[in-house]
Amino acid sequence: MTTQIVRRQLTNAVSFGTVRTLILMLALLALLGIVYMAQSSQATLTGQRVQELREKLVRLNREIDQLEYEIAAQSAPSKIAERARVRGLHPPTLAQTTFIQVKDYPVASSPPVASSPATNNESFMVILWQQLLTRLGIPLDVPPVQASP
Amino acid sequence: MSAQPLSRAPLRMRAAFILLMAVGIVLAARLFYWQIIRWEDLSRRADKQNTFEVVVPAPRGDILTRDGTLLAKDVFLYTIRVTPKDVTEPDQLATDLAPILKMPRDAILAKLKSDQTNVVLLRDALPEIGEAVLDLRNRRKMLYLSADAKPVRLYPNGSFAHAIVGIVNAERQAAYGIEQSKDGELRGTDGKVGGSSNVLKEPIPFDLPRDLPATPGATVVLTIDAAIQRIVEQELQNAIRDSRAESGSIIVMDPKTGAILALAVWPTADLNRYFDPANQGRYANQTISAQYEPGSVFKIVTTAAALDAGVITPSSCFQDDGSIYIGGRIIKNHNDLAPGRVCLTDVLRMSLNVEMVKIAISLGANRFYQYVKNFGFGALTHIELAGEVTGDVKVVGDGRWREVDLGTNAFGQGIAVTPLQMITAVATVANQGKLMKPYIVKSVQPANARQPIETTPQLVRQVIRPETAKTLTKILSDSIIAESTNKAIVPGYSIAGKTGTAQIPIAGSFDPKWTIASFVGYLPADDPRFVILVKLDKPQSSEWGSQVASPVFAAIAKQIVIQTGLPPDHVRLAIK
């Protein structure tokens, strides 16, 4: 009697719509799983590729370093001078050199000079003192004392 | 069948229930212990087993001259190792490795059949060899073969600029020169590569790689001009050969900025062979870490101080009888000269000690030592080189100073300076009395920065008035012109300078045989571009600076003006 009641209740509860929803959810979950797996494996493959490329970059950089070193060793000033000497070249003497005048020839300027704070202060005091002396009409250059022989 | 309360259940059932509960509680407690309390430790141990992490060493930054000549560079070299007991086919492996390692097949085979656990097949192999070995290892899955890369510091120019650059040893410790002083900037930050691995630590491509790239060290560019440095080194070598001096040093400086254009020290040493016992002690830079009594070149400082203080004028004349008594000691001129009446230009031309003593006495000890201090003596210049010393200047009231010191210090005896301090002081006179901080690092280029950090020339102080500097330059220039046979003369160029022949102090006295011969000068005298200091220790061909150091100054100056395109005075002044 009790078993029959339970079966009837179950038949009422598990309708076709519920089953369809469940199947759809399962299918969706499976699809999500497949997408996740695909993405994950793609990421792994990309990661591996990135890793390989980075290793290749490191190897190439090391080869570049090696080549730069070899070039530097071959172009060392002493080696160039030695090769030039073997080929009969030698540095010119001052007597062999002619300097020509070029008007407005661009000359590299020196970098700007930074003053120390103390120097700025000193300069300020000097300027102030000089201005004061000038206003009072006192000459700036005091003649030095003659040394006794 | 209805459910029965436990209290009414049979005794056996209750016992079983309690037992199951007890077991459950124990299991839960253990689970709590392993999962919660020991979680961190176990997780770390598990990670250790199935992950790998390799440190990627950062290459050290390069050191270059201002014109791009490479002085120091990190290169990765490989150590090829093998575990002989795991090698299954030694004959085949020896055949494969011989052309790669460029070693005889039999030599490799002997190592492969060794009883040792681990054998080094080749050390310091070039990257192309290391990579070829790694290729072979990966293709054939030879886990017993390895090629480990490590950065090695190499110096492509050997001994070129050896006193400036310094060294980095096999343990990657920097010593001397720029390598030591700029170690913080040159040393990069190591990187890491990690990820999932099997027990043998072979990477498993399971996830995105976890890696932190290494950051290379900064590139340091020096103010050194490779061409001038080459000239200076060549001329120093020639001077050592000709004078048969024990050692020597030369510095070339730009007086307007304080930039060091060249710095050479003899004897030299190959920077790649720091482990050679013959090179021990040769890497210290003698121009900053060794002090000496400068002798007569110091008369420039005494004269500058006296002129600036107004104690003497360019037209001052003196009666020189060849000796003077000060502090209980008689001081004489060299060669017992007693020239009679002399004027200031003659005093410097003849390098008269007696007159320098008189000038220092007129100046007074306090003022004299104040000028000496202002010129930078007795203090570090703070140049970017390791191992600088302050020199030794006794001053009134320090407990060591005696009255006679004022007299001897006036002509450069009893005072210890470094060559760099000496050239900086003379550069001050050349630069209208402005003392510039000497520097040798032009810029530092960090690996990740777009712009280099440039060094700005630093004015330390105005030591003497510009008029005093100009007057002294004329006196120094005239004193050279007055001697037509002066070996420092550079045809077509006005120069100002002074020779020095200093005695070498030994215990309680001076060495009777040896001297330090020097010359410091600058050109063109009216608008100086270069200050050059030449110092030769214990020359044998002649003891005099005028004989051995002055010609070296001229030889260097003649080449530098051509190299830098500095026209002779008549051309230069005509352009102006």
Average pLDDT along chain B: 91
pLDDT at B304: 97
Q: Is the pLDDT of residue A127 over 60?
A: no
Residue range B345-383, pLDDT digits in tens: 999 999 999 999 999 999 999 999 999 999 999 999 999
- The owner of tokens 């976890």 is B210
Inter-chain residue contact A116 with B461, CB threshold 8 Å = yes
Amino acid (1-letter code) at residue B414: G
Nearest chain B Cα distance for residue A15, angstroms? 31
pLDDT band at B8 (very low <50, low <70, confident <90, very high): low
Whether chain B has a CB inside 8 Å of the CB on A63: the answer is yes
Q: Which residues contact B295 (CB under 8 A, 6 or more apart)?
A: B411, B412, B413, B500, B501, B502, B503, B515, B516, B518, B545
Determine the 3-state secondary structure of B330 from DSSP.
Answer: strand
Residue range B167-200, pLDDT digits in tens: 999 889 999 999 999 999 999 999 888 877 777 7
Inter-chain residue contact B208 with A47, CB threshold 8 Å = yes
Q: Which residues partner with B149 through β-bridges?
A: B78
Nearest CA in chain B to A78: B230
Q: Which residues partner with B247 through β-bridges?
A: B537
Partners of residue A94 in chain B, C-beta under 8 Å: 490-492, 558, 561-562
3-state secondary structure B116-141: CCCEEEEEEECHHHHHHHHHHHHHHC
- Write out the DSSP string of B168-211: E-TT--EESHHHHHTHHHHS-B-EEEEEEB-TT--B---S--EE
B268 CB-contact burial (10 Å; exposed 0-12 / middle 13-18 / buried 19+): buried
Whether chain B has a CB inside 8 Å of the CB on A62: the answer is yes
Inter-chain residue contact B559 with A91, CB threshold 8 Å = yes
Neighbours of A28 (CB within 10 A): 10
pLDDT at A141: 46
Taking the C-alpha atoms of residue B129 and residue B126, their distance in angstroms, rounded to an integer, is 5
Whether chain B has a CB inside 8 Å of the CB on A136: the answer is no
Partners of residue A51 in chain B, C-beta under 8 Å: 193, 195, 203, 205, 209, 211
* Residue pair B455/B449 in contact by the 8 Å Cβ criterion: no
Inter-chain residue contact A149 with B319, CB threshold 8 Å = yes
Amino acid (1-letter code) at residue A74: Q
pLDDT at B199: 73
Partners of residue B341 in chain A, C-beta under 8 Å: 149
Taking the C-alpha atoms of residue B423 and residue B212, their distance in angstroms, rounded to an integer, is 47
Return the CA Rg of chain A.
46
Q: Is the pLDDT of residue A90 over 80?
A: yes
* Residue pair B226/B71 in contact by the 8 Å Cβ criterion: no
Amino acid (1-letter code) at residue B438: P
Q: How far is CA A93 from the centre of its chain?
A: 44
- When comparing pLDDT for B121 and A124, which is higher? B121
Predicted ipTM beyond 0.90: no
Partners of residue A75 in chain B, C-beta under 8 Å: 69
Residues 65-104 of A with CB under 8 A from B: 65-66, 68-70, 72-73, 75-78, 81, 91-95, 97, 99-103
Inter-chain residue contact A77 with B74, CB threshold 8 Å = no
Whether chain A has a CB inside 8 Å of the CB on B206: the answer is yes
Q: Is the pLDDT of residue B561 over 50?
A: yes
Whether chain A has a CB inside 8 Å of the CB on B148: the answer is no
Percentage of chain B modeled with pLDDT above 70:
97
Kindly report the CA angle at A116 between A115 and A117, in degrees rounded to 5?
Answer: 115
Determine the 3-state secondary structure of B515 from DSSP.
Answer: strand
Q: Is the pLDDT of residue B147 over 70?
A: yes
Highest average pLDDT, of B107-121, B208-222, B235-249, comes from: B235-249
Nearest chain B Cα distance for residue A11, angstroms? 26
Partners of residue A113 in chain B, C-beta under 8 Å: 256-257, 436, 456-459
Nearest to B311 among A62, A103, A145 (CB): A145
Q: Is the pLDDT of residue B538 over 60?
A: yes
Residues 26-55 of A with CB under 8 A from B: 43-48, 50-51, 54
Residue range B325-337, pLDDT digits in tens: 999 899 999 888 8
